[in-house]
Amino acid sequence: MTLPHENLSEKVKQVILERVVDGTYPPGTRLIELQLAREFGVSQAPVREALRELAVTRLVESAPRRGTFVRAASQEDLAEVYLVRMALEETAGRYAVEALHADPSPLYRALAQMRASADAGDVRGLVQGSVAFHRAVMIATGNRLLLEMWDSLLVEVRTMATVVRGHVDLHHAAELHVPLIEAFERGDGAECARLLADHQQEYLKLPQETSPEPPAG
């Protein structure tokens, strides 16, 4: 596998993220710079930079004499992410309402993907549909900084962890988005803000299983 030369560290980071999401790199997987560099056909520098950026997000963890591992998402990590999402999406609900009241089609497309994925038992498809739904709300605000802050949370990775570890019913997860669409169709910004905040609170309360820690030594 050889990656294009533009923005190599970013491309390496995206590949690693995809593998974390799809389970290729489960928690505890050791990420070896030289091995990844050879696989991607790049030097170790962009791999090192990608891993450094991922460490900031707390998706990977480096330990002296042990190396870099995919980090298990703890209940505390997920709770912090959902609290931040709650604040961002509550704000977004007020400012996205005009655009989504006029054209809720992005929300309906995302809901259709979630429903089809639920029918197929496709967890990742369901998560991708959910991410598309909430990102459409952020985009509809017209506020690029708000969208960038939301994107920085790496929502797909954290949502996947929550859905899998919380044993979420896929059909129920899809249908939870229907009241949000209805609120946008009514054009009530305050209601949209409240429902989006409540939606994150619902996931914040989900029970989480303990994930494996990186191996010692």
So what's the pLDDT on residue 214? 37
**Residue 111 falls inside a structural domain:** yes
Tally of structural domains, the chain: 2
SS3 call for 216: coil
- Same domain, residue pair 188 and 131: yes
Same domain? 103 vs 181: yes
CA angle 197, 201, 203 (to 5 degrees): 125
Query: Measured between alpha carbons, how far is 19 from 9 in angstroms, rounded to an integer?
Result: 15
Of 70, 87, 103, the position where a domain reaches its end is 70
pLDDT of amino acid 110? 98
Whether residue 89 is found in the same domain as residue 23: no
Residue-level pLDDT at 213:
40
User: Of the candidates 39, 70, 101, which is a domain's last residue?
Assistant: 70
pLDDT score at 107: 98
Q: How would you class 137 by CB atoms within 10 Å of its CB: exposed for 0-12, middle for 13-18, buried for 19 or more?
A: buried
β-partners of residue 68 are: 31, 62
Q: Are residues 18 and 97 in the same domain?
A: no
Query: Is residue 215, in this structure, part of any structural domain at all?
Result: no
The CATH number linked to 194 is 1.20.120.530
Residue 53, domain member (yes or no)? yes
Outline where the chain has alpha helix (H): 8-21, 33-40, 44-56, 75-102, 105-120, 123-140, 144-151, 155-165, 170-175, 178-186, 189-204
Look at the block and give the residue holding tokens 């997920």. 78
Q: Is residue 86 part of a domain?
A: yes
| Claim to verify: residue 62 and residue 80 sit in the same structural domain | no
Q: Are residues 50 and 147 in the same domain?
A: no
**Strand pairing report for 60-63 and 30-31:** unpaired
In this structure, the answer to whether residues 102 and 199 fall within a common structural domain is: yes
Q: How much is the pLDDT for 100?
A: 98
Query: Which tokens go with 202?
Result: 């619902």
Same domain membership, residue 90 and residue 23 = no
Provide the whole-model pTM: 0.78
**Same domain for 118 and 138?**
yes
Residue 212 lies inside a defined structural domain of this protein: no
Q: Range of 187's domain?
A: 75-204
Residue 209 lies in a domain: no
Q: One digit per residue, pLDDT tens: the chain, 217 residues?
A: 555 545 888 889 889 988 887 788 988 999 999 999 999 999 999 999 999 988 887 888 888 888 999 987 777 878 888 899 999 999 999 999 999 999 999 999 999 999 999 999 999 899 999 999 999 999 999 999 999 999 989 898 888 878 877 788 999 999 999 999 999 999 999 999 999 999 998 877 764 444 434 333 3
pLDDT of residue 4: 53
Q: Does 190 fall in a domain? A: yes
Residues 141 and 81 in one domain: yes
Show which of 53, 70, 87 is a domain's final residue.
Answer: 70
The answer to whether residues 103 and 54 belong to one domain is no
In a domain, 27, yes or no: yes
pLDDT of res. 65? 80
161 and 65 both lie in a single domain: no
